[in-house]
Amino acid sequence: VETVIAASIVYMALENIVGANVRRRWAITFGFGLVHGFGFSFALRESLQFAGDHLLTSLLSFNVGVELGQLLVLALCVPALELLFRFAVAERMGTIILSAIVAHTSWHWMAERWAIFSQYQIQWPALSVSFFVSLLGWLIVALAVGALGWLAFGRLWNPAANTSTSASTEE
């Protein structure tokens, strides 16, 4: 998971350099957020002791703490970047420079994580009935998530679909 996290950071930094496709940015961010969430869960599973029977309370408290930490970082970085872009360098050039630094750093992190991951001997699962039943269950979940995503993308990004649906119901 850590390799994919580093790869997602490289991707977003490169997209900032080339020019962001804002129309699909939220969907990519959602997917990367899931990957980063898995990374948190794997990293914290062993090291954090949750509050016994109060798992929901402790998870909620942890997530609120993470969000408050992110808001604090934003409260510090946004004014600093605003000053940097206003007085030191143009916004586009500053974005390219900062993104290049982030891409360079995360590229090395990704290569390091890949070197560690590649040391593991990964074997294909045994092709049994239970494997195919499990696979079918996950395919159904993926299909449902894909259908919900398709509906969301169709409604949000295709205004013609929204107007044609409302026009046909009004007639």
Q: Which whole-number Å values give the CA distances from 10 to 2, 42, 104, 120, in the listed order? A: 12, 21, 8, 23
The model's pLDDT over 74-83, given as tens digits with 9 standing for 90+, comes to: 999 999 999 9
The model's pLDDT over 62-97, given as tens digits with 9 standing for 90+, comes to: 778 888 998 999 999 999 999 988 888 888 898 899
When comparing pLDDT for 91 and 39, which is higher?
91
The model's pLDDT over 105-135, given as tens digits with 9 standing for 90+, comes to: 999 999 998 998 888 888 887 888 888 999 9
Alpha helices by DSSP H, the chain: 2-18, 22-47, 55-83, 91-117, 129-157, 159-170
Supply the mean pLDDT for the chain: 81
* pLDDT at position 168 over 60: no
Q: Quote the percentage of the chain above a pLDDT of 70.
A: 80
pLDDT at position 159: 58
pLDDT at position 160: 60
pLDDT at position 27: 76
Among 4-8, 48-52, 62-66, 154-158, the range with the most confident prediction by mean pLDDT is 4-8
Q: How far is CA 39 from the centre of its chain?
A: 11
When comparing pLDDT for 30 and 131, which is higher?
131
Domain ranges of the chain: 2-122, 128-171
Please tell me the distance from the alpha carbon of residue 97 to that of residue 109, in angstroms, as a whole number: 19
Banded pLDDT at 102 (limits 50, 70, 90): very high
pLDDT at position 103: 94
